[in-house]
Amino acid sequence: MYIVGIDIAKKSHQAAIMKPDGTLVGRSFRFTNTKQGFEFLMDKLAAVDSNLENFEFGMEATGHYWLNLYTWLADNHATVHVINPLQSDALRNLYIRKTKTDSVDAKIIAQVIRIGQYSETKLADDRMLMMRDLCRQRFFLVDMVANLKRKIIVMMDRIFPEYQGFFSDTFGKSSTAILKHCTTPEEITLFGEDNLAQLLQVASNGKFGLKKAQELISLARNSFAARLSSKTLSLLVKQMMDQMELLQNQIGILEKHISSHFKSFGTKITQIPGIGPVLGASILSEIGDISRFANPKKLCAYAGIDPSVKQSGQFLGNENHMSKRGSGYLRRCLWMASFVSVNHCREITIVYKSQVSKGKTHFQSMGFVCHKLLNIIYTVLKNDIDYSPMLCINPAITARTSRRIARAALKAR
């Protein structure tokens, strides 16, 4: 059995063929990330052994660049191991000389596979990958909207500083309608009371009218605005408002697709407080197949919410932070779900307050809630059981009880 370590890159990969005893077969070689490059790899392997089943392939989960090669090898029924780059880094640190080249990396990956001390990254099925891509694109657009809002606020502070606070939400329907038509004090004054009143009445469904328009014009006439580049900034604000509207429409379309795909999985994750269809789809797609995690601790490590450990000799750190070495998307979803559940779920609120009463800070307490919530998610997904408030106390015990009840119900039938 030969081991092929492959160092993944965008345009080309580096491969090294290794025997079971650790010796290399020839020199490492480079092949392009194309169909021709794949055929070149097959020819190189055939020169060593004509039977592809006598090779084990190892590669790192580097971005998305490994997916093409992985699928082509899988289609040819090859044995492929995809490992976390942190595992190959650990072996690299054993070498005295600090060398990092594609050739060396390919050899190290082969050594990791040969030693056998690694955990594999399993490729999710097509449906799960599709949902994950949709959810990650939604996060990307949401971040773009947030960035545009920050820029608009900065510009409005220059051209109309008093505007912020005039509406309860600067980006609500009424305020958005105003900003799309006029942004500077001069533009608002010239727009006129009647036009402003009509615009506000339509945008607010009758909540605002002439009085609010008069207040805004009065505010504009007494504004202490910077008069430098006001026309240019006004143009930029209006453009960014249009961009924001387009992005929000695209987010709405994505959320419809996400909700539709999420229904096909028939999961009970949305029964958990703080998790709706869109957030549930994001969490489920980032976790993938729950069976690849033997216990909740491994899932917590994958999410990067496990505590980092600092210990040397007699010293043991007692103020360790989250490792944050796992899926950033999953960690973000858990954080969002935790904030919602703390405010709307009595049992989770009790968990949060118990940590605060022990002297923990707000963020430390929220970190504990994230950990508790992920344990509940693991139990619900792993055992396919309904959410129960008792899971907030001890997910493992409640899961065993639920399984016993389910078995008893089956026997009764």
* Shared-domain flag, residues 281 and 213: no
Higher pLDDT, 309 or 144: 144
Mean pLDDT of 387-391: 87
Asked, for residue 199, whether it belongs to a domain, the answer is yes
Same domain as 392, residue 294: yes
Do 280 and 179 fall within a single domain? no
Closest by Cα among 359, 305, 306 to 333: 305
Each residue's pLDDT tens digit, 302-315: 898 877 544 444 44
Residues with Cβ within 8 Å of residue 305, at least 6 apart in sequence:
322, 323, 326, 331, 334, 367, 370, 371, 374
Average pLDDT, integer, range 16-38: 94
Place of tokens 């001390």: 117
pLDDT tens digits along 314-339: 444 455 567 677 789 999 999 999 99
Residues 194 and 255 in one domain: yes
* Number of domain units in the chain: 3
CA distance 68 to 87: 22
Given a cut of 70, whether residue 86 has pLDDT beyond it is no
At residue 317, the pLDDT reads 45
- The letter for the amino acid at 20 is P
pLDDT digits (tens, 9 = 90+) for 234-267: 999 999 999 999 999 999 999 999 999 999 999 9
Per the prediction, the chain carries an average pLDDT of 87
Per the listing, tokens 């805004």 go with 216
The predicted pLDDT at position 406 comes to 54
Asked which of 27-36, 169-178, 403-412 is least confident by mean pLDDT, the reply is: 403-412
Return the number of other C-beta atoms located less than 10 Å from residue 336's C-beta: 16
Q: What is the domain range of residue 60?
A: 2-115
Judge whether 314 lies within some domain. no
Is the pLDDT score of 94 beyond 80? no
Q: Is the pLDDT of residue 340 over 50?
A: yes
pLDDT at 213 (0 to 100): 95
What span, in angstroms and rounded, lies between the C-alpha atoms of 396 and 375? 9
For residue 74, give the CATH number of its domain.
Answer: 3.30.420.40
Asked if residue 225 belongs to a domain, the reply is: yes
Strand partners, 15: 6, 29
pLDDT of residue 115: 83
Does the pLDDT value for residue 172 go beyond 70? yes
The pLDDT, as a whole number, for residue 308 is 59
Cβ partners under 8 Å of residue 232, min gap 6: none
Same structural domain, 216 and 101 = no
